Structure 1
């Protein structure tokens, strides 16, 4: 479940970056009281430090999710009765191809859920994850662009109370717009973790039950109720049989 853990960590890190204006407004007020530009610079550096763990967690989560999706999709090929709509290649390309990554991952997850869990009533989870994921992707980019435009209009070197006050208002106004992608990210993260855990558990259960049964126990000579065995027919020597072992690739 490494992929689920990484998604949870990335979600938490994003929430911390979204709430940074609470820290920024306190630092901006302190800078306004002291008329100290260095405090404002410290706020910028602090936000960068908040973003670094999120970027690292996002890169890790993205890599593990792609690996998990591909392995889970490959497992479907070993399940009798499974009829996936997309090939395993889309389990990777669907995340990486522009525009396709807005639709294909949801279709792949729906395939995995339908052919692994076999319960259609759980398909609403894919819809919740997909809708909240799109709101997060679009909302985060829109908020970041609007925030950058507002920041560019600030006085680069504030000198008086009025100019320092513009930085205070900047951080005060930055919190509310960030809450929309933050809530969407939280919902998407929770929904995806639930999906990963349910699909992985269902596939692991099917893989463990799909091991063929080894031939039955031999009949021992002299056992009551059984006739004496006939003389064995001579046969050509054969190589010893090896019991089959469970297959599958789930585990990311």
Structure 2
């Protein structure tokens, strides 16, 4: 048989010989040759491909701004009322100073009583705004804690209930809330826990705790001095000491009130900052999976390389017959 398919003896082609022998001519199979995929299947898939991001927990973060804006407004109003209370305590201190300088007269007593009434009115107004702010704060803090759980599951020291209730629990409210907010900040930082901002948060907490401690000291001093004045009156030689102690208490509580007002302004900034961090963290998407890795105990897609059959349409055909060349 020659290279062109003809018989060397008779010159007949192989196809003609097959027909003479009653054989059917060779025809290639109509079944397509198996091909390997030239690329990985498109996304979405049960698990992410190499270098892609892992899926976020189900549910998503609650980033509605209505509650946050309402809280910021309430805190701002509360800070303004605190400034009013600071002015009232300043008037009280000046009235007590006039009482010491001018002695006990009808005018100085009336001024002192009027200053006390101004302080009482401002205090009631402050507690009303504080109650509204505290309610919104607890609700917002719980929501922020739930969002942080989505960003970094299992990294928090306290549950979402403590995020709302720790602020009102005696004794532990001096350190539990700070730890809770620290965890929320670390989980909400877009660039990772180590990049969480700390300056504003620490300044606000320091002023809040410091003002609370000073206000407690001033309140105790004022209660003791007022009790002595009510018992002894302005008779005798000790009334000047009692009024002087009451004046000192007014100065301490006034300074504590001013610190609380500044802490309120910083609280507004904390709410704004944390809300912005959580929005950025949510927009940043899920944390990326290292190349070559999939979630533990998950079956990932094996890497598929284009094989020699990728895009192959079958063997070349013999132009001199019906069979494939080389077969």
TM tier, shorter chain? Answer: 0.5 to 0.7
The one-character-per-residue Cα deviations of 1:136-161 (angstroms, maximum 9, x if unpaired) are: 2221111111111112222579678x
Counterpart of 2:90 in structure 1 is 22
Any stretches of 5+ residues in structure 2 without a counterpart? 1-68, 287-327
Counterpart of 1:233 in structure 2 is none
Distance 1:10 1:113 in 2: 24
TM-score, length-scaled by structure 1: 0.68
Q: How does 1:54-203 map onto structure 2 within 5 Å?
A: 54-79=126-151, 83-118=155-190, 120=195, 122-154=197-229, 169=244, 172-203=247-278
Distance 1:42 1:175 in 2: 15
The one-character-per-residue Cα deviations of 1:22-64 (angstroms, maximum 9, x if unpaired) are: 3225556489554575554333222211111101111111111
Alpha carbons of 1:47 and 1:167: their partners in 2 closer, same or farther (altered >3 Å)? farther
TM-score, length-scaled by structure 2: 0.54
The answer to whether the Cα contact below 8 Å between 1:116 and 1:203 also exists between their aligned partners in 2 is yes
Q: How does 1:34-45 map onto structure 2 within 5 Å?
A: 34-35=106-107, 37-45=109-117
Alpha carbons of 1:159 and 1:200: their partners in 2 closer, same or farther (altered >3 Å)? closer
Aligned-pair CA distance for 1:79 = 2.5
Alpha carbons of 1:78 and 1:173: their partners in 2 closer, same or farther (altered >3 Å)? closer
Secondary structure of the 1:182 match is helix
Alpha carbons of 1:25 and 1:198: their partners in 2 closer, same or farther (altered >3 Å)? closer
Alpha carbons of 1:80 and 1:155: their partners in 2 closer, same or farther (altered >3 Å)? closer
Aligned-pair CA distance for 1:87 = 1.8
The answer to whether the Cα contact below 8 Å between 2:200 and 2:270 also exists between their aligned partners in 1 is yes
Q: Which moved more, 1:110-119 or 1:132-141?
A: 110-119
The answer to whether the Cα contact below 8 Å between 2:86 and 2:257 also exists between their aligned partners in 1 is yes
Any stretches of 5+ residues in structure 1 without a counterpart? 212-252
Alpha carbons of 1:22 and 1:71: their partners in 2 closer, same or farther (altered >3 Å)? same
Counterpart of 1:2 in structure 2 is 70
The one-character-per-residue Cα deviations of 1:169-221 (angstroms, maximum 9, x if unpaired) are: 5664344323542343244223322221011122234445659xxxxxxxxxx
Q: CA RMSD in A?
A: 3.4
Aligned-pair CA distance for 1:68 = 0.6
Aligned-pair CA distance for 1:71 = 0.5
Aligned-pair CA distance for 1:109 = 1.0
Aligned-pair CA distance for 1:91 = 0.6
Alpha carbons of 1:170 and 1:16: their partners in 2 closer, same or farther (altered >3 Å)? farther
Q: How does 1:211-230 map onto structure 2 within 5 Å?
A: none
Structure with greater Cα Rg:
2
